[in-house]
A and B are shown apart, each in its own frame.
Chain A
Amino acid sequence: MTTSNESTPPASATTTALKYLAGQLRQVGLFSALIVIVLFFQFATGGITLRPINVSNLVIQNSYILILAIGMVMVIIAGHIDLSVGSLVAFVGAMAGVMITQWQIPWPAAIVLCLVIGGIVGAWQGFWIAYFRIPAFIVTLAGMLLFRGAAQIALQNQQISPFPEAFRRMGSGFLPAFGTSGYEPLTLVLGAFAAIVLLYGSLRQRMVRHTYGLESEPLWYFILKLVFSVFLIGCMAFLLASYNGTPIVLVILGVLIVAYAAIMARSVFGRHVYAIGGNLNAAALSGVKTKRVTFLLFVNMGVISALAGLVFTAQLNLASPSAGTGFELDAIAAVFIGGAAVTGGIGTVTGAIIGGLIIGLLNNGMSILGVGTEYQSLIKGLVLLAAVAFDVYNKRRVGGR
């Protein structure tokens, strides 16, 4: 007979703290992995990784994958997938090239038109998926071929270059710098602003929860998280400030992340996306307009892909029929590394962004180290597998029965 061991001595503060951390393993683990990878490359490249110019490049060169990951995580949470985003990047880039250089349309108008094209393409795919009920895998696989072809036709298999200076800045430019030597002040101000908004938001959230009498995370964890986040923002701001300042894509990306994170976490639409991915039937019987939500998700994905296409084209200063090849896979990998579930219903925008950063860091670090592309691909594959394996293991451990 076993004796009941209910009278275990009260656990020490550190054990409870560790237990809590273990419960947050997914979140903590993802951040830790990111930091470990940064530190590893910082050490292995002899300090090149965290050099201001490299950090700036890292942001700029991964921006379009991160943008795509935002749309992709929403699609995947709803239980779908989009394989066509890479081709759409090429198609939109091609259209931008044709409009700006051949039709002489002013570049701001061309940008708007390209986003509209993205929306139309999304609506086309969304229609087949939501209303005609063809699996997204098939529809977007068809789209992948379709829009690659469309891009080649639009460009007549030629490349278009160059683009106007102002357009190019969207991809590779910086916010106007004040002062030319030392730290660039605007970037520091923006960093400080971001930190203050974060502090204010978190504190207010915690206070409201308190007045409602709702359970909150432990104070030490809350403070640790805040200190850590502010530290990261600070580091980022100083690093960028000591090079050219804030990349314009970072501003675009920042706005997208904040907006979409809020939509997914707190808006009715976002809730409906999670509900559809978690249990489609239950969502429909709860009065969620499942078809409309699915349709809008793909329209959104189309617009986001168009934006990624514009940023990519601007950055390369080139519209090419082969642009964006494999982007869909990078974006999907980012989403899964970031903790989304293949079955839908689980995932976050921030997770996808961190997943994207991990991939970006691996690309960047290995390139600096001179690792061949064949090995880069191999290592990225293993990282994706390891991340999902960790997730599955973690779920099983917590799930118990």
Chain B
Amino acid sequence: MTDHILEMRGITKTFPGVKALQDVSLGVKRGHVHAICGENGAGKSTLMKVLSGVYPAGTFDGQIVFEGQPVDFRSINDSEAAGVVIIHQELALSPYLSIAENIFLGNERQTRGWIDWNRTNLEAAKLLERVGLKNNPVTKITDLGVGQQQLVEIAKALSKRVKLLILDEPTAALNDADSAHLLGLIKQLQAQGITSIIISHKLNEIEAIANEVTIIRDGRTIETLDMQADHVSEERIIKGMVGRELESRYPEHTPSIGEELLRVENWNVFHPVDVTRQIVTNASIHVRAGEIVGIAGLMGAGRTELAMSVFGKSYGVKISGRVLKRGVEVDMSTVPKAIRNGVAYATEDRKRYGLNLIDDITRNTSGSALGKLAGLFGFVDGHKEATVAGEYLKSLKIKAPGVSSITGKLSGGNQQKVVLSKWMYADPDVLILDEPTRGIDVGAKYEIYAIINRLADEGKGIIMISSELPELLGVCDRIYTLAEGRITADIPRSEATAEVLMQHMTRERERGASDNLQ
């Protein structure tokens, strides 16, 4: 018998109307990195919430054995006391408190009932060293990047004498360098005897660091694979996740490219707070009807900033340059004007900028084109509106009980589809998609790609921003590379490879690196 630090047996968790987990079993070996894969909504997060006591013992069936002892975690405090710490996808740090304060939040270092700041900062510094973060412990969280914040979370976990660390999509918001550092850290912790469970959509990462992988589909355990012994490949994992081999991860598409729709010329944007810092420099891009144009760039290259500044000056100050629609200069100074000129921007952060999460699918779908539904006196035709939403629900295969479902309760892929239906209903000529598949599982990604192709076939121009090079290579007809706010290359599909793109994406990097460090 191998030594299991954790065994979950026959876990069944039911929500009103849905069976989220059904007889799920999970065995995690001591000192290993154990990956959990599954499509969005498969039940990964629910399983981890069961494990960490977010769903207290008694609200689910089945048994949890931790370090050989059956346990009944009634709250997160219980599980943390036992050494199980979960780091959620949405980081839970208090932005205006310092690193040290966050690390010991709820676990303050005290002397005679008063906080001992020397001890706090000293111990925090030691923990920061362990996770490889060079910042001063008194730095405020808001001054850190996402990657650094993630490390603070891990330091916080270490302060609780963690035995089993659970990371939910730890690299979803990180750039490549930060991801690599984080994965290295997980291996390092493994060497120190800390077991990790990692939930991730990034299969190459799982391939790189996991010892075992458990695949969950529709609330059931499908299989647990030993990465080395079973020679597990990405394709093998995908097969388990979707229950079939995906012949191709990208749908076939033959573009029919027409006239030029949108041209941005000599675009310059400055940082809204630090107005001397130029974010976009002399960028010129164009997109034609039926064309899917990609924008590749590393984190911080200015991709989102370029897109948002074009879309009604939603980002930045001192913006200069021209925007031409079908060869005629147009006014894009506000969002309503941009929409009227047939440009739409679907955000990378759908929860913060894309959806009204407390409202239903219908009202989110109609959100940017209410004028089309309004009759006399500005009253909205609610019936027509629901019908429209219903049509998109069907044609985009949005999985939801109905059009009156609250968008906040949908999975990431379905939320993204609601964002897409919102902009499809607004019927723009040019659609800028910023990370359209972020945090979405493989099956739903394929569907999103198919929708993008369909839109291009309808004669729309698509600009797609993505951090995933394979995705750009698989979907786009032409790819711009952006580095340090400058367009460094314009590469047609036939010449594009990951290596070529990466080369151009890092071209300005060396020169600009020193003054971009914060």
Contact = CB atoms under 8 A, between A and B. Distances in A.
Interface of A: 1-2, 4, 208-209, 212-215, 262, 266-269, 271-272, 274-275, 278-279, 281-289, 341, 345-346, 400-401
Contact of A266 (B23, B314, B354, B379): B379
A393 to B, nearest CB: 16
Contacts of A345: 356, 358-359
A209 B355 CA distance: 26
Contacts of B312: 287
Interface in B345-366: 345, 347, 352-359, 363, 366
Contact of A285 (B20, B23, B62, B345): B345
> Which 6 pairs show the lowest CB-CB distances between chains A and B?
A278-B356, A286-B368, A2-B61, A287-B339, A279-B356, A286-B367
Contact of A4 (B22, B363, B402): B22
Max chain B CB contacts within 10 Å: which of A262, A286, A341?
A286
A283 B380 contact: no
8 contacts: A209-B383, A214-B387, A267-B378, A267-B379, A279-B353, A282-B355, A286-B368, A345-B356
A281 B363 contact: no
Interface residues of B, number: 51
A279 to B, nearest CB: 5
Contacts of B382: 266
A281 B359 CA distance: 14
B314 A284 contact: yes
A274 B359 contact: yes
B378 to A, nearest CB: 5
A287 B16 contact: no
B189 interface: no
B363 A271 contact: yes
B314 A269 contact: no
Nearest to B339: A287
Contacts of A278: 356-359
A282 B383 contact: no
Interface stretch (B236-244, B369-377, B436-444, B455-463): B369-377
B46 interface: yes
Contact of B368 (A213, A267, A287, A346): A287
A255 B384 CA distance: 27
Interface in B43-63: 46, 49, 61-62
B404 interface: yes
A251 to B, nearest CB: 22
* B interface SS class: mixed
Contacts of B97: none
Max chain A CB contacts within 10 Å: which of B314, B355, B363, B379?
B379
Contacts of B356: 274-275, 278-279, 282-283, 345
A191 B147 CA distance: 65
A285 B314 contact: yes
Contacts of B268: none
Given A2-B12, A285-B314, A271 B357 contact: no
Interface string B1-33: 000000000101001100110110000000000
B336 interface: yes
Nearest to A272: B370
A401 B45 CA distance: 11
Max chain A CB contacts within 10 Å: which of B347, B382, B426?
B382
Given A268-B378, A285-B347, A212 B383 contact: yes
B422 interface: yes
Contact of A208 (B314, B338, B379, B383): B383
Given A268-B374, A275-B367, A262 B379 contact: yes
B185 interface: no
A5 to B, nearest CB: 9
A331 B426 CA distance: 38
B352 A281 contact: yes
B370 A282 contact: no
Nearest to A346: B358
A283 B314 CA distance: 12
A248 to B, nearest CB: 26
Contacts of A272: 370
Contacts of B61: 2
A209 to B, nearest CB: 6
A400 B363 contact: no
A400 B314 contact: no
Contact of B10 (A1, A275, A346): A1
A400 B16 contact: yes
B86 to A, nearest CB: 15
A219 to B, nearest CB: 18
Contacts of B62: 2
A214 B386 contact: yes
B244 to A, nearest CB: 24
A65 to B, nearest CB: 27
B285 interface: no
A262 B377 CA distance: 11
Nearest to B18: A400
Given A214-B390, A272-B370, A278-B359, 4 more contacts: A2-B23, A282-B352, A341-B358, A400-B16
